[in-house]
C-alpha cells in the first residue's frame, strides 16, 4: 500500500544563470579581496568594473586621470595590475565579464597574458568582453577613436577569439546604457540590433565564409530591465525573436543553436532613488523577475545593483544583499522547475508583436540612413535618446509617471539603513597616489627595449590593417601600459568627439511652469542687456552625459543661450570657454565620484581668471558631507538625484542670477 504521507520527490531543476555583482574599486589588490570574498559567498562569475582612465585609454598618472583613479572601478594599467587583480583566482576555471569597450582588445590581451602566466591555455578561457563601441557614442562616452576604426578593433577581437579563445564571447551588444540614456523599449531593441548588424557586416568579410556561423554564435547581448515589468519581459521575448529573424534572413544562419539569443543583464540603475532608497530593493527584484521568469528568453547571467547606488559606492554588505536576492530566487523558489509559463499568453503575444513592429520601423529608418555608424555620425540616435529622456523626466515632474517616495508619498520615517556615517563606501584619497607610485615603479623595472619593440609591432599592425590582437598580447607580456597602447593607436587612428544631440533636440517640456521661468529669463536678460548664457560642462573622464544633456535642453526651453561642448573636458578648457563665451553661470555635471577635486579646480581657475563673480553649480551623486565641502569652497548650488524636477532647478538658477544681478 502506498504511503500517501510520504514527501513528493523534488522536481528536476535547471541550472541557474551565472550570478554576478559588478564591482571593482581603489586598486587591483583591494578589488581582488572583494572578488574572492564574493566568490566565497556563492557568486558564480566575476563582472569587472574598470575605472574611467582604464576605460578611456589613459594611465593613472595622465593629467586627465586626476581625481578619477579607482573611483568607479579598478585601475588596471599593465600586466602587473592584471596579475594582482586575479591573484588566487584560477582563470581557466572562472567565467569573467569585463565591461570594457574602446580598449577591449587591450584588456582582453592583458587577461590572456595573465592567464598564460598562470599556466592556462587560451582555449580554456571563458567569459565576455563588452566591446560595444556604438553605444559609447550614444550614452556612456568612453570612446577613444571614430566609429570606423573602432569597429575595426571590434572586428579584430571577434576574428581572433573565435579561433584562439573559442569559449569567449568577444562582444556584448549593450542596450543597457541606451535605456539609461532614455531609450524607449522599441529604441532599445532597434539601436542594439542595428549595432549588431554593423558589427557583423564589418567582420563578415574578414573571416572564412564557413566560419561565419561560428562567429555569429559567439555574439551575446547585455540588456537593461526597467520597472515596467510586463513590458520588459515582453521586450526580452521580442529581442529573442528579432535576433533569430536577423540571423536567418540577413545572414542565412541555419543552425538554431547558433541563432540563439544569449544575454546577460544588469537591472535598471536609472530608476534607483536617493529618496527612501530602501524602496530600491523592491524595484530591483521586480526588474530581475522580468528577465528570469520567461524561460524562452531567460538571461544567461544576472548582476544586480545595490539598493544604495543613488547615494554612492555600495559597501560589501550591500553587494551581499543583492547577491542573496539572486540566490533566493534561484534556489528557494520553484522558478527553475517549469517550462515557459508565458507561452500562449494573448496579452504577452500582443505586446511582443507591438514591440517588434516598432523596432522594425526604427531599424528601417536607421538602415535607410546607411546603418548604425551613419546614424551615430549624423547625431540621429543621440538626438532621439535625448528627446525620449526629456519626455520621461517631464512625465515624472508633472506627476503623470509616479515614482514612489519621489513625487508621491514622500513623507517618510528616518531610515535606519542610512543614518550615521558609513552608509556608503568611499575610496581612500590615498589610493590614487599609491596607484601612481606603483605605476612608476613598474615602468622603471621593465625591459625598455622589449617595450619599444612591442609598441613598434603594434603600430605597424594598426597602420597596415593587420589584426592587432597578437601584437597586443605581446605588448602585455612586454610590460606596455594601457596609456602607451592607446597612445600608439591614437597616433594611427586619431581621436574623436561624438555629436551631443542637444543642438537639434526638440523642446523637452511646454507648460505654465517653464513659461514662468522663461518670463524670469526675459526679465533678467533685459536687465543684463543680453541673453542669459549658461555653460554646461563635463570635467574629467565621466562620460555619463544624460544629466548634463537634460539640463542643457531645459535651459534652452527656459530661453537661455546654452554652451555645451560634450564630455571629457579639463577644468582649464571649461574656464577658458566660460571666459571666451561670456557666460553668466557655469554648471558642472560629474557622476564618477571625482566631484571634489574637479569642481574645486574649476572654482580656483575661475577666480584666477577674474571670473570669481560667476556662480558655479554642480550636479551628480554627491554625498551630504561632500556637499558641505563644495559649498564651503565657493560652489553656489548642489543638485543630486533627489532633485528630479529640472524646471524647478532652472527656476532656482534664474533666481540665483537675479539676486546676484540685484546685489551688483
512 is catalytic: no
Alpha carbons 157 and 130: distance in angstroms, whole number? 11
Quick one: residue 532, left, alpha or beta (phi over 0 = left, psi -120 to 50 = alpha)?
A: beta
Alpha carbons 154 and 143: distance in angstroms, whole number? 12
542 is catalytic: yes
331 is catalytic: no
Alpha carbons 267 and 271: distance in angstroms, whole number? 10
Residue with cell 529622456: 389
Catalytic residue among 61, 156, 318, 542: 542
Residue with cell 532633485: 643
> How large is the greatest C-alpha to C-alpha distance in the chain, in angstroms?
99
- String of DSSP letters for 6-74: SPPPPPP-PPPPEEE-EE--S-HHHHHHHHHHHHHTT--SEEEEBPHHHHTT--TTSGGGTTTTTSSSB
- Cα 64 vs. chain centroid, distance in angstroms? 19
Catalytic residue among 25, 382, 520, 544: 544
639 is catalytic: no
Give the phi and the psi of residue 282 in degrees, each rounded to 5: -65, -40
Which residue, 663, 593, 596, is CA-closest to 632?
596
Helix (H, G, I), strand (E, B) or coil at 349: helix
Catalytic residue among 135, 177, 382, 595: 177
Which residue, 356, 378, 2, is CA-closest to 189?
356
> Quick one: the chain helix, strand, coil %, rounded to 5?
55, 10, 35
544 is catalytic: yes
Q: C-alpha grid cell for residue 195? A: 549595432
Task: Quickly list H helices, 175-218.
Answer: 176-180, 185-203, 212-217
Q: Are strands 168-169 and 18-20 parallel, antiparallel or unpaired?
A: unpaired
The answer to whether the CB of 509 falls within 8 A of the CB of 560 is: no
408 is catalytic: no
Task: Quickly list H helices, 529-560.
Answer: 546-557
Q: C-alpha grid cell for residue 353? A: 508583436
539 DSSP assignment: B
Residues in the chain: 664
Catalytic residue among 135, 538, 584, 595: 538
Alpha carbons 185 and 228: distance in angstroms, whole number? 10
The answer to whether the CB of 167 falls within 8 A of the CB of 120 is: no
Q: Write out the catalytic residue numbers.
A: 22, 176-177, 538, 542, 544
Amino acid at each position: 500500500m502506498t504511503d500517501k504521507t510520504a514527501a513528493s520527490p523534488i522536481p528536476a531543476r535547471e541550472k541557474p544563470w551565472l550570478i554576478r555583482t559588478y564591482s571593482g574599486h581603489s586598486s587591483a589588490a583591494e578589488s581582488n579581496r572583494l572578488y574572492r570574498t564574493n566568490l566565497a559567498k556563492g557568486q558564480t562569475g566575476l563582472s569587472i568594473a574598470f575605472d574611467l582612465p582604464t576605460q578611456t585609454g589613459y594611465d593613472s598618472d595622465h593629467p586627465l586621470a586626476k581625481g578619477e583613479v579607482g573611483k568607479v572601478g579598478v585601475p588596471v594599467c599593465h600586466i602587473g595590475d592584471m596579475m594582482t587583480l586575479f591573484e588566487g583566482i584560477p582563470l581557466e576555471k572562472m567565467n569573467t565579464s569585463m565591461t570594457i569597450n574602446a580598449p577591449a582588445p587591450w584588456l582582453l590581451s592583458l587577461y590572456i597574458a595573465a592567464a598564460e602566466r598562470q599556466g592556462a591555455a587560451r582555449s580554456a578561457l571563458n567569459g565576455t568582453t563588452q566591446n560595444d563601441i556604438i553605444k559609447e557614442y550614444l550614452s556612456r562616452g568612453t570612446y577613444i577613436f571614430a566609429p570606423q576604426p573602432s569597429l575595426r578593433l571590434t572586428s579584430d577581437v571577434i576574428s581572433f577569439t573565435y579561433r584562439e579563445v573559442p569559449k569567449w564571447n568577444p562582444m556584448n551588444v549593450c542596450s543597457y546604457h541606451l535605456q539609461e540614456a532614455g531609450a524607449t523599449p522599441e529604441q532599445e531593441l532597434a539601436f542594439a540590433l542595428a549595432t549588431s548588424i554593423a558589427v557583423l557586416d564589418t567582420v563578415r568579410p574578414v573571416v572564412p565564409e564557413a566560419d561565419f556561423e561560428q562567429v555569429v554564435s559567439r555574439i551575446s547581448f547585455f540588456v537593461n530591465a526597467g520597472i515596467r515589468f510586463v513590458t520588459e519581459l515582453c521586450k526580452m521575448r521580442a529581442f529573442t525573436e528579432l535576433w533569430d529573424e536577423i540571423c536567418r534572413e540577413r545572414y542565412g544562419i541555419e543552425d538554431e543553436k547558433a541563432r540563439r539569443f544569449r544575454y546577460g543583464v544588469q537591472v535598471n540603475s536609472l530608476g534607483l532613488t536617493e529618496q527612501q532608497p530602501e524602496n530600491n530593493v523592491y524595484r530591483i527584484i521586480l526588474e530581475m523577475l522580468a528577465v528570469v521568469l520567461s524561460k524562452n528568453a531567460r538571461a544567461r547571467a544576472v548582476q544586480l545593483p545595490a539598493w544604495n547606488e543613488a547615494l554612492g559606492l555600495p559597501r560589501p554588505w550591500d553587494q551581499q544583499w543583492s547577491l542573496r536576492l539572486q540566490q533566493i530566487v534561484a534556489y528557494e523558489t520553484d522558478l527553475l522547475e517549469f517550462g515557459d509559463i508565458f507561452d500562449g499568453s494573448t496579452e504577452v503575444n500582443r505586446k511582443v508583436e507591438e514591440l517588434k513592429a516598432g523596432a522594425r520601423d526604427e531599424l528601417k529608418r536607421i538602415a535607410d540612413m546607411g546603418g548604425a555608424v551613419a546614424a551615430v555620425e549624423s547625431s540621429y540616435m543621440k538626438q532621439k535618446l535625448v528627446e525620449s529622456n526629456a519626455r520621461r523626466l517631464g512625465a515624472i515632474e508633472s506627476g503623470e509617471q509616479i515614482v514612489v517616495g519621489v513625487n508621491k508619498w514622500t513623507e517618510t520615517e528616518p531610515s535606519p539603513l542610512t543614518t550615521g556615517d558609513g552608509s556608503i563606501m568611499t575610496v581612500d584619497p590615498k589610493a590614487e597616489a599609491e596607484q601612481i607610485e606603483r605605476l612608476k615603479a613598474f615602468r622603471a623595472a621593465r625591459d625598455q627595449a622589449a617595450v619599444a619593440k612591442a609598441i613598434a609591432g603594434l603600430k605597424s599592425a594598426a597602420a597596415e590593417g593587420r589584426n592587432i590582437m597578437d601584437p597586443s598580447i605581446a605588448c602585455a607580456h612586454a610590460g606596455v601600459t594601457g596609456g602607451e597602447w592607446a597612445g600608439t593607436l591614437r597616433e594611427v587612428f586619431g581621436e574623436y568627439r561624438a555629436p551631443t544631440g542637444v543642438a537639434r533636440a526638440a523642446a523637452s517640456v511646454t507648460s505654465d511652469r517653464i513659461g514662468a521661468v522663461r518670463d524670469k529669463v526675459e526679465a533678467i536678460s533685459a536687465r543684463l542687456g543680453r541673453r542669459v548664457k549658461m555653460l554646461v560642462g563635463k570635467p574629467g573622464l565621466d562620460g555619463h552625459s544624460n544629466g548634463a544633456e537634460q539640463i542643457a535642453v531645459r535651459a534652452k526651453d527656459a530661453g537661455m543661450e546654452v554652451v555645451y561642448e560634450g564630455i571629457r573636458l579639463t577644468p582649464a578648457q571649461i574656464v577658458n570657454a566660460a571666459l571666451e563665451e561670456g557666460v553668466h553661470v557655469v554648471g558642472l555635471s560629474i557622476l564618477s565620484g571625482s566631484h571634489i577635486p574637479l569642481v574645486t579646480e574649476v572654482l580656483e581657475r575661475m577666480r584666477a581668471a577674474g571670473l570669481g563673480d560667476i556662480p558655479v553649480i554642480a550636479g551628480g551623486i554627491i554625498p551630504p558631507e561632500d556637499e558641505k565641502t563644495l559649498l564651503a569652497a565657493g560652489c553656489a548650488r548642489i543638485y543630486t538625484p533627489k532633485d528630479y524636477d529640472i524646471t524647478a532647478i532652472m527656476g532656482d538658477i534664474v533666481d540665483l542670477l537675479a539676486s546676484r544681478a540685484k546685489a551688483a
